[in-house]
Amino acid sequence: MKKTNLFMLIVPVLFVAMIVFVASCTKEGQQGPQGESGVQTCGQCHNFSEDVLARQIQYEASGHLNGGTFERNGSDCAPCHTSMGYREVLQTGEQETSAAISNPTPVNCFTCHNIHETYTSSDWQLRSTTPVAFRINDVVSDQGTANVCISCHQPMIPDPFPSPGTREDITITSPYWGPHHGPQGTMIAGTGGYEVGGGYSNSAHTNIENTCVKCHMAEAYGNQAGGHTWNMTYLYHGGDHLNIAGCTDCHTDPDALEAMVEDTAELIDGLLADLRTVLLTQGVLDSSDHVIPGTMSMDQAGGVFNYLFVLEDRSEGLHNTKYAKKLMENSIESLQ
């Protein structure tokens, strides 16, 4: 009976000892001083103004998100097709990443801005506004905040590269030869084309401060145009309309602006059609606008390059009417 009573006394004591032991092993110690309120940092961006939400909604309708090309994550494509690749070459100064990008993401907030580095409003600052030396000819262009855009929106160097000063024939082996779809930065700067002949000049848009940003990121029209959609047109009452929010500093008459846009597009589209006809007739361009591989004259290769340069600029001459016009006129003349 005494042994039972002793056992009954020992069990509770052991239980209490175990609790004390566990507590002593897991106790975190004295609580430190209270940290700075998140309102003082995160709240600078994540406030009640819905600015972040507006930008997010615009971006979700953009070609940068929905273009469907960020899977091109190889070292030569990743610098412009993936967010991580862009940031890597920005740091290294190289034209290619060191390796293919794993788990690539499209261009997003982190690509252009210092997001979540200081957790203050300074995170909205652009990663770089350094003037850009174009790959194709090393011409340095300073387009302000748009330098972050033209780092990618410039031609690739085609292999082989046509030179107007050389009269030898040129052999092209790939049907995809050309400036590679994004020559807007060089078009605005008035450089990068196959400049046979003379008389080249630039339109007034070359002198716009912050070029791309001024017009493409003007006050947004919902999630269709402007802001972080980067689009210039929106649909309203069944028709396409130009978002002129970034144009009114210079073009004060909306009707006159619309007429000018239409006239410019008609002019440039007409010259594109004329140059295309010449290239098709001479057997160096096919009906799907791809170069026909083979040996051709330097001016024929240059004509193909200029045709694709203006076509893939996709502004129908609005970025730099005078330069686009002269490129095509001189190419047509050189081939006749």
Model confidence at 17, pLDDT cuts 50, 70, 90, reads low
- Strands 170-172, 239-242: pairing is unpaired
Percent of the chain residues topping a pLDDT of 90: 81
User: Are residues 91 and 159 part of one domain?
Assistant: no
CB-count burial class (<10 Å; 0-12, 13-18, 19+) for 144: middle
Q: What is the mean pLDDT of residues 204-208?
A: 95
- Tell me the DSSP string of 233-245: EEEETTEEEE-GG
Q: How far apart are CA 263 and CA 268, in angstroms?
A: 9
Of 107, 127, 147, the residue that ends a domain is 127
User: Which residue segment(s) compose the domain that 299 sits in?
Assistant: 131-221+249-335
pLDDT of 270 over the 80 cut? yes
User: Are residues 180 and 306 part of one domain?
Assistant: yes
Model confidence at 5, pLDDT cuts 50, 70, 90, reads low
User: Are residues 141 and 91 part of one domain?
Assistant: no
Does residue 242 lie within any of the structural domains? Answer: no
Asked if 305 and 193 touch (Cβ cutoff 8 Å), the reply is yes
pLDDT of 3 over the 80 cut? no
Does residue 171 lie within any of the structural domains? Answer: yes
Q: Which amino acid is it at 122?
A: S
Total domains, the chain: 2
Model confidence at 44, pLDDT cuts 50, 70, 90, reads confident
Q: How far, CA to CA in Å, does 154 sit from each of 48, 71, 77, 107?
A: 38, 20, 13, 16
Q: Encode 232-249: b = buried (16+ Cβ within 10 Å), e = exposed.
A: bebeeeeeeebbbebbee
**What pLDDT, on a 0 to 100 scale, did the predictor assign at position 11?**
46
User: Are residues 191 and 316 part of one domain?
Assistant: yes
Does residue 123 lie within any of the structural domains? Answer: yes
Of 86, 102, 127, the residue that ends a domain is 127
User: Are residues 108 and 64 part of one domain?
Assistant: yes
**What pLDDT, on a 0 to 100 scale, did the predictor assign at position 26?**
52
User: Are residues 200 and 111 part of one domain?
Assistant: no
User: Are residues 206 and 284 part of one domain?
Assistant: yes
Question: What is the rounded average pLDDT for all residues in the chain?
Answer: 91
SS (H, E, C) 30-50: CCCCCCCCHHHCHHHCCCCCC
User: Are residues 171 and 211 part of one domain?
Assistant: yes
**What pLDDT, on a 0 to 100 scale, did the predictor assign at position 9?**
47
Percent of the chain residues topping a pLDDT of 70: 90
User: Are residues 98 and 59 part of one domain?
Assistant: yes
Q: How far apart are CA 213 and CA 143, in angstroms?
A: 9
Does residue 15 lie within any of the structural domains? Answer: no
What are residue 64's phi and psi, to 5 degrees? Answer: -65, -35
At 232-261, the pLDDT tens digits run 999 999 899 999 999 999 999 999 999 999
CB-count burial class (<10 Å; 0-12, 13-18, 19+) for 10: exposed
Model confidence at 291, pLDDT cuts 50, 70, 90, reads very high
**What pLDDT, on a 0 to 100 scale, did the predictor assign at position 67?**
87
Does residue 39 lie within any of the structural domains? Answer: no
Model confidence at 1, pLDDT cuts 50, 70, 90, reads very low
Does residue 119 lie within any of the structural domains? Answer: yes
User: Does residue 39 or residue 44 have the better pLDDT?
Assistant: 44
